[in-house]
Structure 1
């Protein structure tokens, strides 16, 4: 017997009903990412717990590794048993862990709660990515994933924005966790009330537009003897390429505020404002690029334009870090460029990854996103361990940022190995 919240749809929803379910998937993505976002308060956290940046990196690496295993397991379970069955309990438990983090007094306690939180977050994020694919036909999928990415990006923006406004009032990093937990718990209630799953037969269909509803259902049992995703080179090209590209993004996500404080001698609240600008511009660019990609029905040209533009912005930012001097307004301007480059690349890539997987095995969407989660979290472990060591070795953060920039450069030739159209339809 399925729990009351695990509603299953036997008919594909259309119109406003489909958009409502899609909105709930986006909200769930935002909530689960927001619950673990502590980057704006890392400088305060390190001082309060008497913890070095290297120790924080090791703790984060172990927690992220746990989350990577969880993402892979959660994706497989979500394809087998449904997304919502796993998602709702994960959202609630993550909110509880966020509140519990307020009580930590030692690095060991912090490690325990971060591992638990990221184990829950890994599985939950995978299910939300599968839900977005389920409720977004291909003609609008890049826009849908642009909104879904408001989860991880929007969590950064929301956390940085709230910290920029409230840290001068409350001064303590614990205040931010109380705010996060309260917002997350209230959002969980909304998601639980309105979320739903597609039936396994509907999840195994490829939907180009809502007019495809007249097509016959696909029995998932018919696909059991097809080759697994790992047998296809395009699947590996996606995972390797985006993992390299995300090195820069996760460097800013994890160490952005700390980097700005150390490199430019900014206050924690000023650094939070700069990071909020970066993530805010990323969110706008995600939707704008998604709409353009959907209109053209060509993902790769948009991805390539975003990647090249982003590399130019990164190179300029590295030069500023190397110099060690820049005004707040100057950094905000550079942040706008970095945010746009990130958004233009990532939204269309997510749509293309989803569609390429769909062409191979439409019944294994969550499994594919679980593999993505495992690959990216493996990379994050490397960033958490290596970045503080390289930065400490000098000169400052510029050497590590150059490594992250090189990873983005390597992503560019990999774009030509992906599927999809090369030119607008």
Structure 2
């Protein structure tokens, strides 16, 4: 597009980008809502399941860097054909993956597309939203991962009890292909000459269109990566990536956390997560609009960052209290989600404005730097999760099995526990006739001469075998799981705290009054430049000003 669109088409393009972001994250995050089912299906350990996320985010990180070339290639193609590829993978490939290795490979491909979309979609939002109004627009864009997660938990919590994990993937894939068709025919993007300029408000439209005719696009697109290697770009990108540590845990491991510590089902945990996603979504939009109205970003980032730390600390304290009620968790998650949303939407606006301070033409490159950093942080955090929470694998893989075996074994278990070594030796023989008489006599003595009890032990061999193989391992895992998760929450808190100082180096005012003065001064400069262009006879300028 060589003309900046009117308000109606502009809002349509922004809406398509937001919907595309929602669906891309829906397709990416559906795996986490059924993570325990996947582990059972493919015989995965918690470490292997985590490595799917590690590998995916690692390849997604480098895909984000590649998407930095969107400053040259454009953004819309990456989004449109990315929707086609992910829709096909999620609908056809993942539900039919023959092994856990193939499942990891297909998820890595989905992450490649998502890594590119993480750069292309906010770049499109920036292109179609001037700085005045950008936080609100970015608030809607950040709804992509949030509403995507909310869709995941809402759909799975209402359908998973009557469907399979494969069906959950197919729901996401079909939705993705529908949105691909919408984006194919409905999404457009600005020409490089228009998008490579700084636009503070919609009143700048006439000026940027006039200046676009003489803009040297090739010169504007040189040395992008060098220009982005600055403290005020790198520090905030790392800061927000660390701030989102709790978010990564909610996406990837909340089902594991609540199933191992509190015994929640997948459906119950996903319903609980809806409180977090709902509060986060509302806060993103409200904080974005409020940031635009006050013309400042940093106060919202600081308030949200501090609030996130406080509520996460209160949430962590519940780890040692297994009797904590459902609605206590819900309101704590609301506090964390709302605080994080207050910080995130203004941060996205402030970050793109910081990039524009150096070079408006380098928007996609600056977002690629952030996309690479955030994916590396996610990968590293995913690696450390099973290292810190070692209890997750035995509890997820064998916890329910051991509980069921204990209930089934009943009185037979009580007898076996009197001398486990004896009954283990007896179980090694093919039948009772082959068991040495001295072992049978000893077992009968332990049973108080009651042969029926020995018969019961023989009948419950399958359940007893489960308890012999995994009972002690699960018992020890239960004893340490709370302490291990507490260590994880402490690490999360430390990462969240590092976000606050990173805000200080970003562009933007603290005072709404000074920000409005800057805006007024910019408006005067725009009028002066338009007047100068009109005096020089620039085509169309006088007509556009009237």
Query: Shorter-chain TM-score: what band?
Result: over 0.9
Q: Distance in 2 between matches of 1:43 and 1:297?
A: 45
Between 1:345-354 and 1:14-23, the stretch displaced more is: 14-23
Paired residue for 2:8, among 11, 16, 20?
16
Q: Is 1:409 equivalent to 2:497 in the alignment?
A: yes
Shift of 1:224: 4.4
Q: Distance in 2 between matches of 1:116 and 1:186?
A: 20
Q: Distance in 2 between matches of 1:226 and 1:94?
A: 32
Q: Is 1:56 equivalent to 2:49 in the alignment?
A: yes
Q: Distance in 2 between matches of 1:69 and 1:62?
A: 11
Post-superposition Cα deviations, 1:29-75, rounded to whole Å, max 9, x if no partner, equal 11211111121111111111111111111122112101111111012
Q: Distance in 1 between matches of 2:354 and 2:94?
A: 39
Contact 1:356 1:419 in 2 (8 A): yes
Q: What is the 5 A alignment of 1:77-92? A: 78-92=70-84
Equivalenced residue count is 415
Contact 1:229 1:235 in 2 (8 A): no
Tell me the equivalent position of 1:347: 345
Tell me the equivalent position of 2:536: none
- Structure 2: where are the runs of 5+ without partners? 392-479, 516-546
Tell me the equivalent position of 1:188: 180
Contact 2:27 2:172 in 1 (8 A): yes
Tell me the equivalent position of 1:399: 487
Q: Is 1:223 equivalent to 2:220 in the alignment?
A: yes
Post-superposition Cα deviations, 1:320-351, rounded to whole Å, max 9, x if no partner, equal 12323322222111111111011101000000
Paired residue for 1:325, among 323, 332, 357?
323
Q: Distance in 2 between matches of 1:337 and 1:213?
A: 40
Q: Distance in 2 between matches of 1:314 and 1:389?
A: 21
Q: Distance in 2 between matches of 1:93 and 1:219?
A: 35
Post-superposition Cα deviations, 1:241-260, rounded to whole Å, max 9, x if no partner, equal 11221222212211122212
Q: Secondary structure at the match of 2:198?
A: coil
Q: 1:226 to 1:89 in 2, by over 3 A?
A: closer
Q: Is 1:423 equivalent to 2:514 in the alignment?
A: no
Q: What is the 5 A alignment of 1:11-410? A: 11-37=3-29, 38-76=31-69, 78-99=70-91, 100-170=93-163, 172-215=164-207, 216-217=211-212, 218-224=215-221, 228-392=226-390, 394=480, 395-410=483-498
Q: 1:224 to 1:173 in 2, by over 3 A?
A: closer
Q: Secondary structure at the match of 1:151?
A: helix
Q: Distance in 2 between matches of 1:377 and 1:405?
A: 19
Between 1:43-52 and 1:294-303, the stretch displaced more is: 43-52
Shift of 1:225: 5.2
| Structure 1 runs, 4 residues or longer, greater than 6 Å off | none
Q: Distance in 1 between matches of 2:327 and 2:13?
A: 40
Shift of 1:127: 0.8
Q: Secondary structure at the match of 2:389?
A: helix
Q: Secondary structure at the match of 1:197?
A: coil
Q: Distance in 1 between matches of 2:309 and 2:124?
A: 31
TM-score, length-normalised on structure 1?
A: 0.95
RMSD: 1.4
Shift of 1:219: 3.0
RCO (CA 8 Å, sep 6+): is it higher in 1 or 2? 1
Q: Distance in 1 between matches of 2:360 and 2:322?
A: 49
Shift of 1:403: 0.1
- Structure 1: where are the runs of 5+ without partners? 1-8
Q: Distance in 2 between matches of 1:327 and 1:229?
A: 51
Q: 1:44 to 1:28 in 2, by over 3 A?
A: same
Shift of 1:229: 2.7
Tell me the equivalent position of 1:3: none
Q: Distance in 1 between matches of 2:190 and 2:71?
A: 11
